[in-house]
Amino acid sequence: MKKSLLLGNEAIAFGALKSGISVAAGYPGTPSTEIIETLQRFKDRYVEWSVNEKVAFETAYGASMMGAYSLVTMKHVGLNVASDPLMSSSYTGIDGAFVIVSAQDPSMWSSQNEQDNRYYGLMALIPVIEPYDPQSAYTLTIKAFKLSERVHHPVILATNTRVSHVRGPVEYEEPSSPIFGKLKKKPDKYSLVPEVAKKNREEQLKRWELIQEEIKQFNEIEGEGNKLIIASGIAYSYVKELAPESMKILRISAPVPLNKEQIISALEGVDEVLIIEELEPIVEMQVKNIAFDAGFSIKIHGKDYIPRSGELTPDIVEFALKKFLGLYYEPKAIKIKDIPPRPPAMCPGCPHRSSFVDIKRGITLGGLSQTFFSGDIGCYSLGVLPPFQEQDSLTDMGSSLGIANGVYRSTGVIPVAIIGDSTFFHSGLPALTNAVYNNLPVLVIVLDNRVTAMTGQNPSPSREIDILQVAKGLGVEYVKEIDPFNLKESVKIIADATSWVKQNKKPAVVVAKRACALEVIDKFEELPIAEVKLEKCTGCTICYDYFTCPAIIPREDKKATIDTNLCIGCGACIPICPYQAIELKGKIPKGWDEVWRS
């Protein structure tokens, strides 16, 4: 047995390794990404970043059909993409063991919503396991695999930002040998034609009854008294810190489904109950149903004491606990330091700051007096902010082209769809196919930096597959590539593409291609630095108000200066200055241009 400080995500990976996982797939998305990154270190298993969550799900699902132990990972909204095979997997069951990790993001630290995916468990009839700290993430992952193997059914492991990204002491064992599958053909189980699906539905319900019995091993009653706290997931950690030691607590590590007899046992002899859980009242709803059917007349508190939105904090739990116990609670004073406001910004050297400048100038020269910027999900979402304001919508992965289609069909205004390279392969391809098929006049700008940058430079299919050739293959007639740092040429190409779309009423694709700045600086020890020649600087403010590189800061006299701690010497600011007041100093490293263009 080893003991190390592990992230919750690393603990999940080691739990999967101990369980004998042989196939894992995922799509990067905060807060789930480190699970696949950890598994990739073990070369005796097959681990991949898939192009989207549905493909990743089907990869792991297919392996489990053959008897393998498999894992799929994604952030919570990714389960929407994978929901089609998710529902089918519950009907067919599996032959090996299959765990689905859905990492939720309460408070939406890096997401467009905070949906509670425990609802998917209720809807799909798939059990949901919920860890409350890194150690439980490890042990519950192992138990989830064992449950899946015993009942031949998929299991959802629902973690959250606080568990996934906190680091804590974890005791863990060496990985077990990977359990691969063998070729099995069971069309009477896995081919969901109606006759098979009807039979599978009956089998699914029988497995669900078995799961309801098995699930009670994940929960535990502690302490005693006439007041009961039911705490699910991360709430249990906070309750253990704050509640009196002898307090009667039902720890819920499997919120879906609840075991009826276990809940009735916990409610017996109790006058009042407080249910603490993050986000939706999943446990509360089930407990109230069980209590009502069993004839209990007990006051059950839940979302009347605990907010339904946002991440749980110790302060929130302490307030609810003291209210429940009738104790005085004085809110802690919050000390707010006087920190200057700073809007989020793209990284210094990000090539797509230049792309946004190129796009705005290019479409104006191309004759679009007004347009709708249909954006997408990625770090380039920051283009929604001033001064660029080139993301009029961004709703979900790959939505830019679909939304653009609706905007044009309802208004006649030619839209500009802006999408990243990873997102293009994730779910932009079907929408581009639709644009070609239905002659949508749209200018598509693909911001290609060859990585999924927002989640930590995870590799993108664009490293191996040329987006220009893909677009041509789909029938796009106007396809061009630009270097966003080449301002003059990029603006001209975008202007030409805009004119072509207006004239031909068909889609055009322009790929803005340059490496992620974080990828570049990792490869060089010494970097050149940009410098402002103050004798040439007029204080026009274009470089810091219009270009907004964080390394360029204004002086008291309005002239610009460069923060050498932030500047990476990309040179993108040089053509922005109309007075040629910025230049590079220092030696350009060997291979500098090749890395930017690779």
Annotate 387-405 with b (16+ C-beta within 10 A) or e (fewer).
Answer: ebebbbbbebbbbbbbbbb
Q: Confirm or deny that 567 is annotated as ligand binding.
A: yes
N- to C-terminal Cα separation, the chain: 44
Dihedral pair phi/psi, residue 204, rounded to 5°: -60, -45
Helices 53-65 and 83-92 pack at an angle, to 10 degrees, of 20
Q: Whole-angstrom Cα distance, residue 413 to residue 197?
A: 46
CA neighbor of 24 nearest in space, from 172, 217, 34, 594: 34
Q: Whole-angstrom Cα distance, residue 68 to residue 90?
A: 17
Tokens 């402002």 belong to which residue? 532
Amino acid present at 394: L
Q: How many CB atoms lie within 10 A of CB 288?
A: 17
Q: Confirm or deny that 573 is annotated as ligand binding.
A: yes
Dihedral sign for Cα atoms in the order 240, 243, 244, 249: negative
CA neighbor of 20 nearest in space, from 60, 71, 62: 71
* Cβ contact 189:153 at 8 Å: no
* Cβ contact 525:393 at 8 Å: no
Is the previous residue joined to 255 through a cis bond, with omega within 30 degrees of 0? no
With vertex at residue 62, the alpha carbon angle to CA 58 and CA 67, rounded to the nearest 5 degrees, is: 145
Tokens of 226: 């006439």
The long-range contacts involving 390-397, CB below 8 angstroms and separated by at least 24 positions, are: 390/356, 390/359, 390/360, 390/416, 390/418, 391/418, 394/112, 395/112, 396/77, 396/80, 396/112, 397/52, 397/77, 397/81, 397/423, 397/426, 397/427
Q: Confirm or deny that 540 is annotated as ligand binding.
A: yes
Q: Whole-angstrom Cα distance, residue 120 to residue 102?
A: 10
Amino acid present at 46: Y
* Cβ contact 282:120 at 8 Å: no
Q: Confirm or deny that 379 is annotated as ligand binding.
A: no
With vertex at residue 131, the alpha carbon angle to CA 130 and CA 133, rounded to the nearest 5 degrees, is: 155
Category of 51 on φ-ψ map: left (φ > 0), alpha (ψ -120 to 50) or beta: alpha
CA neighbor of 349 nearest in space, from 128, 178, 191, 521: 521
* Alpha helix segments (H runs only) across 299-339: 314-325
Q: Confirm or deny that 347 is annotated as ligand binding.
A: no
Binding site, residues?
A: 537, 540, 543, 549, 567, 570, 573, 577
Binding site for [4Fe-4S] cluster, residues?
A: 537, 540, 543, 549, 567, 570, 573, 577
